Structure 1
Amino acid sequence: MAYLTAALILVGLLALINLVFTFGVVRRLREHTAELAALRGSGVTGVGGTDVALPAGATVGAFETAEVGGRPVSLAAMGERPLVGFFSPHCAPCKERLPLFAEHAASRPGGAGEVLAVVVGTPEETSDVVAQLLPVATVVVEPDQGPVQRAFGVSGFPAFVLLEDGVVGASGFDFEPVASRDAAAAVPSAG
């Protein structure tokens, strides 16, 4: 009976120690989440102090690539105001914003020829995301830090960029501000 009591006390102490460590881990995770949110909000993440892509006013670098069907893709052939989205199949925010991007892209006057979607990963990893984007965009699959990502200064996912007259008009992690700028620019001015 004494062995049973000692074993129960030992198991109870181990459970208590485990509980204390679990509370510590949860507390640290909350602190890290708050710190990441503060960094994201301050705009100091990414390349050169910008968000997740080149900032407004920047010029996109040159790149050579091909879309999933094999046709060459160049920025010059994408019209005056191409919309570009960068996605990763392993990124939870990408999965959240993908339907918004696809819906907006489908409603753009320029059609899929003026929307570029870059999906990062292997063809096997990216097949579901590519299938969702093909009806509304020119889709490129490339490895991490591929030529299109480097040209746009992409440092995180998702990233959205609206080009206007060859320079970045709007960019960011959140799609809504980029979509709003795109929708406003698509409306002809009265007058």
Structure 2
Amino acid sequence: MKQEELDIILENHGKWLLNEGGERADLSNADLKNTNLRFANLRLAYLRGADLSNANLRGANLRFADLSYANLSIADLSYANLSIADLSYANLSWVNWQHVEGLTVICVQVDTTRKNNQIAYIKELDIWITGCFQGTLDELKASVEHTHGDNEKLRKRYYRVIDFILNEVEE
């Protein structure tokens, strides 16, 4: 989607939010990769299945947005508001979670086989993310065992980070 077309949709969505005409943004299944949505007001927008990979969503308002099945890999969600957003089945790999509002995200940088790998846990969604992996705690542990079963040092490093995150969640 071209930026000009997107800007018109956002303008109309803004009017709709203010009850000044316009219409609710429906960007379901839209190709929005690499787009600039910095500080965009996408509250209540439909983004189901949208490709937002590598999109700049820094400071965007995504409250109550439907982001289910969306691809948010490598997106910058820093300072974005994701309160009550539907992120079910969204691809959240390599997302920048810095200062995200509305979700409890615990992120730890860890030295693994990839430089600057991060392990993130999203409490409200009960999802663990590391690299291209996304799933439950049991699935993460199974993946660590499968991938690093023969490397005790690396396996223990993953488990130390997992334990650290779980302890942080409890506090």
TM-score, normalised relative to structure 1: 0.23
Higher relative contact order (CA 8 A, sep 6+): 1
Larger radius of gyration: 1
More strand by share: 1
More helix by share: 1
TM-score, normalised relative to structure 2: 0.25
